[in-house]
Each structure stands twice: as structure tokens, then as C-alpha cells.
Structure 1
Amino acid sequence: HKKVVQDMFKTLYDKGYIYAKEDEAFYCKHCKRFLPDRYIEGTCPYCGNKNARGDQCDECGKLLDPKDLVEPRCKLCGNPPVFRKTKHLFFALNKFENKLLKWMSDKNHWRPNVKKFTENWIKNGLKDRAITRDIDWGIPVPVEGFEDKRIYVWFDAVVGYFSASIQWAKERNEPDKWKEWWKNKEAKHYYFLAKDNIPFHTIIWPSILMGYDENLMLPYDIPANEYLRLEGEQFSKSRGLAIWIPDIIKRFDVDAIRYYLSINMPEHRDSNWTWEDFVSKNNDELLGVYGNLVHRILTFTWKNFGEIPEQGELDEEDKKLLEEIEKTSEEVHSNLQICSFKKALKNIMSLAQKGNVYFAQKKPWETIKRDREKCGTTLHVCLRLVKALSLMLAPYLPFSSQKVWMYLGYNDSIHKHTWSEITQDVETGKKIEKPEHLFKKLSLEDIMEEKDPFTLLDLKVAKVVDVKDHPNADKLYMLQIDVGELGKRVIVAGMKPYYSKEEIKGRNIVVVCNLKPARIRGVESKGMLLAAEDNKGNVALLSPKDSLAGEDVVVEGITKNPAQTIDFEDFKEIKMVVDEKRRVVYNGKPLKTKQGEVTVDEKVEPGAKVL
């Protein structure tokens, strides 16, 4: 990757698309460092968002220069930065305006929000952007005189598509294989992303490709989504406002989650995840329209025939449903081709609803009593519908679709089959399997009342009375702590690489008092202190300042009901993070004592995980 990035950078420089210019950059006197764009926050000059970043505003999607921000502040310490002169290399985006407009002129298959956003950006005039930064991480600049600079991430990141393809080809021992994808006029490149990344993929990345090698394939489609929000709030790991994948897949059927995300996809405007809507979509649509239809058809056929019955003479209702299958297959195919995934799913669910009407009108439970052959024809048509639905839904609901496929008597993977099979007949006489319900009915009350794992924790403020080196481990301390009414105890903590004894002794910390005792290198530890660690490996202790030893640490709205003991593996499932205000938060709410909110030292960055 490094080699490819530097080669593209140097080629653009040699062609005159990258040039040197003296500039002013933000410098934080308190932190004693130049600030990368994302280390600067302030008010967006376009929409007034007070938490815009130095490179982009998440609210309105505008690309920004740090100088554009109103009342800028250092994200690390909150102090206002100052300008200092520095020399940087700039990418001449303005040279690509006409080329970009010409390239975009036939992109009528793009989503309207993507095309309009990009056209407006270009027509307003593209500004050349600094492509280097005064930082010590990243790829070194391959230009003499700029060796101490680094290539900035927005250039480095998009080149990853190209460099990964080259690496893939090398690992296959076919070093030129990448050309089949990048120099093949028949190849189509799709970039799936969120709206905040639109300009990087419709303006910056195409410009880099145009300037580097005009024979490389430009993006064919950039189906960018708007934002999915959580109960009206923006998802934010640093604020704890998130749905954690490991947690949710334990609680709910994976295909139920996939269905809701697909039918609620923010393709053209922001959408909202709410638990009430999740339950409604699961019960009324996934289960009520599709799941029950499939189960009724398969169960009735299995009980009365045990195999796919023969198709007799078709009446008008039979023919109409088969025509609907073919029509829907074409509609879904067309919508998938233009990345209109939500509309395609609605097409499929509409067909399932028509199947419910057909099944109710044909009343096979009555015809089985007087005309078994006619009943068999009805079920044969129904099973063609089930097969078609399972194939069309396979990309959306891979697991339940595979179950349906097996119930229909197939022994292989549904995902090995092709779109053309949707309208093909089912095999008369094929044995079918006894079906089970595909989905479960959900209760909103049960979801909302489900016990929050945080209630099981017994978090308390403890004062460190004494600190000793662990006799059998170089990186461990033995801390004697005072937990108020619970008395004194010893815990083992891996803080030696981060804090001196003097820094820890006498301070307040937060301790998990009911963690199952464990012997750590021969010393029993009765509890665990909490600390935050960020992506760079920085570690900071939680700081319940001015609190008394033994005080409870709580989260507003969650009733404390601690278990007698809790295993470390269970504790790890409770996701606490550090937010922008250096508060420790759980599900967006801060940890508190009677004296106030629990914070961390300035050693770690927002988003740091607490363990």
C-alpha cells in the first residue's frame, strides 16, 4: 500500500497536479503540536453545527478547511489553537472541474442525492486541498524537502481500493490480474458508503485516477446512503449511542435484523432505528406477511402430500400469480441493478402479500376434501411462489432462505443458484421436509423490560491506600484500597507502564467490587479497577473526583441490582466509552457519583474503551 500511494503521489507531483505552497495551519500551544483536521472542532459556517470537524461537517456534509470553522478548538484539550506558517503540498482539484462534469454527464443511474451533491460542489468551484500534514504518523511524502511531512489520510485511504487489488493479484501469483478490473472497460466499480464520504469518491478519487492514469476505470456508481439514526439521535460510539453487533445478534434472529436494516435503509433521506418500529416490521411484515405464508404452505403440503404435488390444469387465478412471479422477478432485478435495495425488497414483500391473498381465496383446506387434484395444483403453484421468494430474498435473508430451500427438498446451498431459476418450475414428486417457523413474534414490552446488564455491576469509588510492586510480574501493581463500608482489600492492576506509584497512591478510582476473585500471578485480586484505553494504546484511570470511598457509581435511569459475583467475560459485554467531554458514558449516559460525573485524565482520546 505504501509503495502504491507514494507512486501515485509522485506521479501526480511530476505531472504538475501537486504543488508546494506556504500555508497557515492550526497549532495548539497547550498540546505543543500541529493539529490534524479531525483534531479541530468548531461551528460549521454553513449549517451552524457546533461540533463540525476540521475537514467536514457531519450534519450538512460540507467539506471544510479548518480555517472555515467558527470558534475552533483543539479536540484534545478544548483550548483555541493559533495559526503558524508551514509549507505543504496541495492537490490541484480545480484542474479537474471540466473533466469531472463531463464524466458525470451520463451518470443518470446515480442516486439523486449523490449526483446533485456532487454537481453543486463542482459548479461552486473546486478548491485545491492540502495533501500533506505536520504529523508523525502515516506515509512519508516522496518529495525532496518534505521528508518530515506525511501524506494526509484522505488521499491515502481512497488509494487503498487500488493498492488492495494489486496486493490481491500478487497473492494469487498473478501480478497483472488487477488489470482485469482496473483496465477493463466492461468492469463496473461500485462504492458503497455513507453520505459524508460522497465527495471523496465522486470528486477526489476520480480526480486522482484521472491525473495518475487515464486508462484506469473510474467509479461506475456510488450508492451512498444518508444517515441511520438511533431513536432520533446520531449513532456515536464515543457517546455510547450505539447498537452493538455482538449483543443484538444474541438477542434477535440475524435475518430479522437484516430485514429491518434493509426495509429501513436510508437510501434517499435519513431514517431512524426505533425499537417500536423494529418490533412492528418483524411482527407485521417479516413474520405476518412472509414467514406465516411460507409456513402455512409448506406445513399444509407436508401434512397432506409429503411431496410436491403434480400441477394440473391452471385456472385464471393460478396463471395470474405465476405472471406476478415473473413480473416481480423483473422488477426486483431492475431495482437491484441500480442499487435500489429497499424498493426491490418492497417488490418482493408485495408479491408475498399477493401470495397470501391467493392462498386465502383458493382455500386448499376445503378443496382437499372434494378435489385432491385441484388442491394439488394450488399447492404446486404456491410452492413455485415459495421457491421464487426464497431465491429473491436470499441476498437479504440468507439464513432463513437457506432453511426454506432445505424444506423444499434441496440439499445444496441456495446461494449457488442463479436468478434465472426464480421463474422455473418446481420438481413434481420431490420430497419436502417438515417445516418449522422461520421467525418469532417479538414483544416491545419484553425488549424494553429486558434486564440491562449494567444493573448487575457493583461499581464503587475506592481510595488507593498503598501501592506495591507485584512480586512475580514486572507490569503489575498490588493496590490496597479502601471501599468504605466494604472495608479494605487488595486488587492487582496492570498500571505500572502508565502510572508511577506516587501518581496512584491517595487518589480515587472506580472499582468493580463484585468481579469474581482471581489469582493473578500468585496474588489474589478481589475486584478490578476501571481504566480507559484509546486506539493508540494510551491508558487513563477513571477519576471520581471529590467522592467518598464506598460511594456507588451509577447511571441515571438504571436501577442498581448487583449480582453476588460477575465473571470477567460477562463484564466485557458492558460497553463503556469516553465521550468528547471526557466523561465515561454507558449507552449515552454518564457514570455518576453523588458528587458528579466520572471523567478520565487527558491521556486518552474520545472514543476510548473502558475496561
Structure 2
Amino acid sequence: MPETVLVCVAWPYANTPLHAGQMAGAYLPADIFARYHRMKGNRVLMVSGSDAHGTPITVRAEAEGTTPEAVYQKNHQSFVDTFERFGVSFDLFTSTATANHAEVAQGIFQKLLAAGYIYPATQTLLFDPKVGRFLPDRYVEGICPKCGYDGARGDQCDNCGSTLDALELLSPRSRLSDATPEPRPSEHFFLKLSAFNERLTEWVAPQDHWRAAVRNFTLGLLREGLHDRAITRDLEWGIPVPVEGFEGKRLYVWFEAVIGYLSASIEWSKTHGQPEAWRDFWLDPSARTYYFQGKDNVPFHTTIWPAMLMGSATPDETLALPYDVPANQYVTMSGAKASSSRNWAVWMPDYLDRHESDPLRYMLSAVMPETSDSDFTWSEYVRRNNDELVATWGNLVHRVLTFTRRNFDAQVPPQPASLSESSQRLLDRIDGAFEDEGKHIEAVNLRAALQVAMSVAQDANRYLDERAPWTAIKTDRDHAAESLWTVINVISGIATLMQPFMPFTSPRAWALAGNTGDLQAVGWQRSVIAGGTALPEPLPLFQKFDDSVAAEEEARLGH
């Protein structure tokens, strides 16, 4: 019975291009997961979109002397282009700037308000007397009260990582005018998170399939007790608060952005001529929803969004809570955290202008930060490309198919009447790998899943070395034919196993083995290659890099 799987992926702020750390954190793992489930025959919906309303967009707009709309539009198009070129297979990548999203977000607000989980209250905020406006957190800078760093923002300190309140900053200053801001009262709406502490604890505690870091962190937050949080801001850019008297205020981005998973599902349904199809993913108790995030987004998806889902439920409509939040840790770049201000990142548009997608997809999958931070270096990228993609997998494909074409009239040798023990063992190994790798992907253990596929390639190379068909062809043609028929069928299987990870080169390898059609549509199984199948001329799957590439790319960091 096919499963219904909703893949929800973090909404990136549309203020800068995407970098490789973000791809490893949320977008690549989500794509691998979604591609696998589609191949399994499951019904999959994978959605995300650009976060158009965060203060990073307005900060960027003021720094560039343009409008938030222009900044969002430019980076949204960059995101769409990057995902297409990198092979991230969204069913819909939209934005929070759509009328549909505003309608859905305001609808959730009104349901929570009607249920008594949203209430108005006065809070003290910092006000810039020179420009005459309240300052969002990121418009305030000052000295961190915890580490003394002069340059902390009103929401966090990048030096020590502490989450802050703008009122806590020492010697605060406005980024708009450099004036010293004044504390002033302002009325806002608050989400009554404190009302959900017990229900959330009862829900989170039995989630044994969650990653330990995600579950333990969330339970820690709940033990400390959730506090009510403001969900509106004094801004002109964003979704209007749907309450009379609050026309000058906007929904806080952290509140409305998480609603994007729902609004995107509804938008996808409408654009596909099935306006009620979203209900299968959100209202069917058997459907599973997965939220792919970086670790900094865990609280929003394990406490705040679930609380909003619980609070907005009605007798007729209860939206599904997350089944899993497989949040990744960080990928650092050559030992340092990615930083837009220092230009310390592997920017995806730049990378894709110079290199192919699959080597980076492979590298990031191999170092996926599933349980702890991992580090990306260009020297390791070059090593893995040359030693693993070129020498292990690519060379297996190229040498087998080149030798077979030359010695068997460009056709797959006939299937042997019986197989030797070593040949049968290798075929059993590839067929069993589908279940092994599938279990890892379903548990979102993607590093282990990739290793399953690569280990079969290593086994196939060892099998070839032991049977040496290039020598056997001189004295025992049937022996050589058996070896080649076996490995060509194994190559067909490995290409399928690699497809979720490397969707550009895997179909090429699959076709070189004699297959025709769409690899993604064939299913999660090995395609058997019959004797006599015509073999196309093999071309290398990967390009070997000179060691100088690592030095050249490292030199780009920070410049």
C-alpha cells in the first residue's frame, strides 16, 4: 500500500544566495528522502518557498538602497535557479509573498484568536527617536551582556551564539541612524505558548524515532517552560494583522513563515486542478510529515508550530502534527562557520558556474551533519571526487563497459545457465542493498545509506580483480562473459541506489549499462539487463580534479 509523505523544507530568507552549508542542512537531505519515496511508489509532496518578510530582507534592502520587494524577487529567482541546477526536486517552491499565503496565515491567526490562544498585550520595545519608528531586533546593535562582544544584534550574538532580547544589549544603537534607542510601550498580539506546555510534553516524550539531539533539546525547553511570545511587529513590510486598529502592524515572520508549509500545500493543490488534494497530506492520520531543518530551527518546528496546529484545530479539521523533524547540525567551511558578512561560504550560484552538481551532492551527503557538526574542505572534496567517484564508482562503470563493448560486439554477454558462487553472492549483495539502503533513508540516516551503495561498488571492484575477465577472455571466454554479465547487472543496481544522491550521473550510468527509459520512474529495484542488450559507447561519469583545484577554491573563501 503506497504511503502518503509530506516533505516540508526550511524556508530560506531571501536576502542572499544559498550556500553549501544550507544545502547540506535541509535541502539536499530532503531531496534525497523525497526521491527515494517517489521511487518506492509512495505519494510524495515536497514543498518550501522563499521567506520574503524577515528583517534580513529589509536590512539588506536599506543597505543596497532598494526595496524589500526587489531584494526578495532577486534572491527568490536565484533560489529557483540553484535548486533546478542542483537537482532539488520540489513539487512546489513558492514564497510568503503570495496572496494565498497571506490568506492562509491570517486564517490560522484568526482561529487561534477565536480559541483564546492569541491575546493583546503591551510590551516595551526600542524606539529610534531620530527616524521616529520602533526597531525590530535586527535593527539594533550593541554589546552582548554575556560575552562582551561589541556588534551583537538585538536577537542574538554571533560571537557566543546566545539568543538575546534587544533590551538586554549594553550601549544599544540604531542601525538606521546610530542614535541611542529609547524604550517605549507598544501594543501587540501574543501567542499563549504557555498553555501548550503539558500537551507538547505528552506528545514529544514518546517520539523515540526522533534524533536524540532534537528530542532532548525540545524536552529541555519544555521542562524550562514555554513563554508566551509576541507574534506581531511594528513594520510596514509583511502580512497585515487581520484585526481592526492594528493596520500599521504585521505578523511576525517566525509566526507566519511556518504556516507556509500548509499554504504551499494548498497552493500546489490549486495549481494542479485538485483544490482539495492538500487534505490527504494534512488531515489523513496515516500520512507522515517530515520537517527538514537546520538545528537553529528546531524550536519552531517541535514546539511553536505544533502548538499552533493544536490551537487552531476545530472539530471538523485537525491538522497533522510533525511525524519527524530530522534537523541537521552545521557544516562549517574550512573550520569556520559560514558567514555572509565575511563572504565565508561556498555560494551555490558560483559553485554551479564552475563545477557539476553531483560531486558536491556526494561530498555533502558523505559528511552530512546528522549528529554533530562536520567540516567541508576543498581538499576533501577533491579527494572524494578523485578516489571515490572517479576511481571507485566511475572507473567500475567505464572499464567494464569499455571492455565488454570491445570483446562482445557492443552487447551484454549472454546470461550464464548457472552462476558461480562468487557471482551469485555479488548479485545477492546488490539486491539486498535496496532494503538496507531503504531502511537508512526512511530513518533519515543518509550517510549510512550512501555508504551502502558505495560499498557495493567496492565489492564489485574486488570481484572483478579476483575474476580478472581481461585475462580470462584469452583462455575461457565463458568465464569472462559471466563476470561481465554479472557486473553489468550490478552496475544497473548501483545506479538505482545512487539515484537519490546523484540524480545527474546515475541515469547516465544506468543507461550505459543498457537500460532505457526513466530511472526515477523504474522503482526501488534493480533493472535486470538481458544478454544481447546493446551497449552505448561509454563516456566518463566524472572528471578527475588536479590538486590545484582545492587551493584555487580555498582562495575564494572570504574574497
| TM band (smaller chain) | 0.7 to 0.9
The answer (yes or no) to whether the contact 1:393–1:401 under 8 Å persists in 2 is yes
Q: Secondary structure at the match of 1:19?
A: strand
Structure-2 residue corresponding to 1:5: 105
Q: TM-score, normalised by structure 2?
A: 0.76
Structure-2 residue corresponding to 1:239: 342
Structure-1 residue corresponding to 2:487: 382
Q: Secondary structure at the match of 1:21?
A: strand
Q: Secondary structure at the match of 2:123?
A: strand
The answer (yes or no) to whether the contact 1:61–1:195 under 8 Å persists in 2 is no
Q: 1:120 aligns with which of 198, 212, 220?
A: 220
Offset, 1:319: 2.3
CA distance in 2, matches of 1:117, 1:53: 24
CA distance in 2, matches of 1:410, 1:360: 25
| Alignment of 1:142 onto 2:242 | yes
Q: Mark the CA change 1:42 to 1:107 in structure 2 (over 3 Å): closer, same or farther.
A: farther
> Which one-letter code corresponds to 1:379 in the other structure?
L
CA distance in 2, matches of 1:413, 1:249: 24
Structure-1 residue corresponding to 2:558: 588
Offset, 1:195: 1.3
Q: 1:360 aligns with which of 445, 465, 489?
A: 465
Give the stretch that moved more between structures: 441-450 or 288-297: 441-450
| Alignment of 1:208 onto 2:308 | yes
CA distance in 2, matches of 1:107, 1:44: 36
Offset, 1:167: 2.4
| Structure 1: gaps spanning 5 or more residues | 453-556, 558-585, 590-611
**Counterparts of 1:222-371 in structure 2 under 5 Å?**
222-305=325-408, 306-312=410-416, 313-371=418-476
| Alignment of 1:195 onto 2:295 | yes
The answer (yes or no) to whether the contact 2:129–2:182 under 8 Å persists in 1 is yes
Q: Mark the CA change 1:199 to 1:72 in structure 2 (over 3 Å): closer, same or farther.
A: farther
**Counterparts of 1:480-491 in structure 2 under 5 Å?**
none
Q: Mark the CA change 1:444 to 1:44 in structure 2 (over 3 Å): closer, same or farther.
A: farther
CA distance in 2, matches of 1:89, 1:436: 62
Offset, 1:354: 1.3
Q: Deviations over 1:13-65 (max 9, x none)?
A: 12110112221012233443211123234566667776554345567776543
Number of equivalent positions: 454
Offset, 1:236: 2.5
Q: Deviations over 1:396-426 (max 9, x none)?
A: 111111111221222322111100x22x532
Structure-2 residue corresponding to 1:106: 206
Q: Secondary structure at the match of 1:83?
A: strand
The answer (yes or no) to whether the contact 1:42–1:72 under 8 Å persists in 2 is yes
Q: 2:477 aligns with which of 372, 389, 395?
A: 372
Q: Kindly, what percent of the aligned residue pairs are identical?
A: 43
Q: Deviations over 1:312-338 (max 9, x none)?
A: 222222222122213322221001101
Offset, 1:286: 1.3
CA distance in 1, matches of 2:535, 2:377: 38
Q: 1:394 aligns with which of 492, 499, 507?
A: 499
Q: Deviations over 1:525-564 (max 9, x none)?
A: xxxxxxxxxxxxxxxxxxxxxxxxxxxxxxxx9xxxxxxx
> Which one-letter code corresponds to 2:311 in the other structure?
G
Q: 1:29 aligns with which of 114, 124, 129?
A: 129
Could you say which structure has the higher strand fraction? Answer: 1
Q: TM-score, normalised by structure 1?
A: 0.70
Offset, 1:353: 1.1
Q: 2:532 aligns with which of 425, 429, 444?
A: 429
> Which one-letter code corresponds to 2:294 in the other structure?
A
| Alignment of 1:439 onto 2:539 | no
CA distance in 1, matches of 2:222, 2:148: 23
The answer (yes or no) to whether the contact 1:230–1:273 under 8 Å persists in 2 is yes
Superposition RMSD on alpha carbons, in Å? 2.4
Q: Mark the CA change 1:130 to 1:194 in structure 2 (over 3 Å): closer, same or farther.
A: same
CA distance in 2, matches of 1:315, 1:43: 72
The answer (yes or no) to whether the contact 1:118–1:202 under 8 Å persists in 2 is yes
Q: 1:408 aligns with which of 504, 508, 513?
A: 513
> Which one-letter code corresponds to 2:335 in the other structure?
G
Q: Mark the CA change 1:38 to 1:323 in structure 2 (over 3 Å): closer, same or farther.
A: same
Q: Secondary structure at the match of 1:405?
A: helix
Offset, 1:310: 2.3
| Structure 2: gaps spanning 5 or more residues | 1-100
CA distance in 1, matches of 2:297, 2:442: 22
Offset, 1:247: 2.5
